[in-house]
Amino acid sequence: MQTTNHKALEIEKVASSQLHKLQEISRQTFHETFASQNSEEDMAKYLDEGLSLHKLHMELDSLSSAFYFAYIEDQIAGYLKVNWGDSQTENHDKDAFEIERIYILKSFQGSGIGQSLFDFSLKLAKDRGANYVWLGVWEFNHKARSFYTKNGFTEFGKHIFNLGQDRQTDVLMKLQLK
């Protein structure tokens, strides 16, 4: 178990046996973040396909990805998904490290948990000897974009993310470590 400087916060690797809990928080946080700006059909399609038990199970079993839960007093408050090597969603640079998802439940946002998960992911990247950390963030997700900018990330490109039938533009951002 990993602890952070946040008093009541614990960050722990998600075990295969926690698949259903992972799906629950993945779906809830995705819905809370994006439902107001996207159609119900596109949301339903992504929640069913992008966050299916089958897909999450494969991702949990991958040797080049990891999920972590952030717990506040035994309650799951958010989660992190990171990828390296072949599991990176787009860039297979072996010296790179991807933060694919940092999601905090709405009721827990604004109290430093996102920052702690982010700091933790940087430590994981450094432990792996990564040259840089990168991520994709929806162009209209202003909150997350400013969060990453504040943490030193700069934009270096764009890619397309399919949310249901909607082709959306993600801004690619990176932070050089070496």
Ligand X SMILES: CC(C)(COP(=O)(O)OP(=O)(O)OC[C@H]1O[C@@H](n2cnc3c(N)ncnc32)[C@H](O)[C@@H]1OP(=O)(O)O)[C@@H](O)C(=O)NCCC(=O)NCCS
- Per DSSP, 26 falls in state H
Determine the interface stretch with ligand X among 47-55, 89-97, 123-131, 143-151 (rule: CB under 6 A).
Answer: 143-151
114 binds ligand X (CB under 6 A): yes
Q: Three-state DSSP class for 23? A: helix
Q: What are phi and psi of 91, to 5 degrees?
A: -110, 115
- Per DSSP, 139 falls in state T
Residues binding ligand X: number (CB under 6 A): 20
9 binds ligand X (CB under 6 A): no
66 binds ligand X (CB under 6 A): no
Torsion of Cα atoms, 146 then 150 then 23 then 159, to 10°: 60
If the CB atoms of residues 5 and 17 are measured against ligand X, the closer one turns out to be 5
CB of 86 to ligand X, least distance (A): 20
For this structure, is 148 an active site residue? yes
The correct pick among 18, 89, 115, 131 for binding ligand X (CB under 6 A) is: 115
CB of 133 to ligand X, least distance (A): 13
Q: How far apart are CA 40 and CA 63, in angstroms?
A: 34
* Residues numbered 74-113 forming contacts with ligand X, rule: CB under 6 A: 101-104, 109-113
| Long-range CB contact pairs, 137-144, < 8 A, 24+ | 137/170, 137/171, 137/173, 138/34, 138/168, 138/169, 138/170, 138/171, 139/168, 139/169, 139/170, 139/171, 140/37, 141/33, 144/102
CB of 102 to ligand X, least distance (A): 5
Contact letters (x/-) for ligand X, 12-31, by CB under 6 A? -----------------x--
Torsion of Cα atoms, 29 then 173 then 115 then 129, to 10°: 120
CB of 50 to ligand X, least distance (A): 13
Catalytic residue IDs:
148
Q: Which residues bind ligand X (CB under 6 A)?
A: 29, 33, 101-104, 109-115, 137, 141, 143-144, 146-147, 150
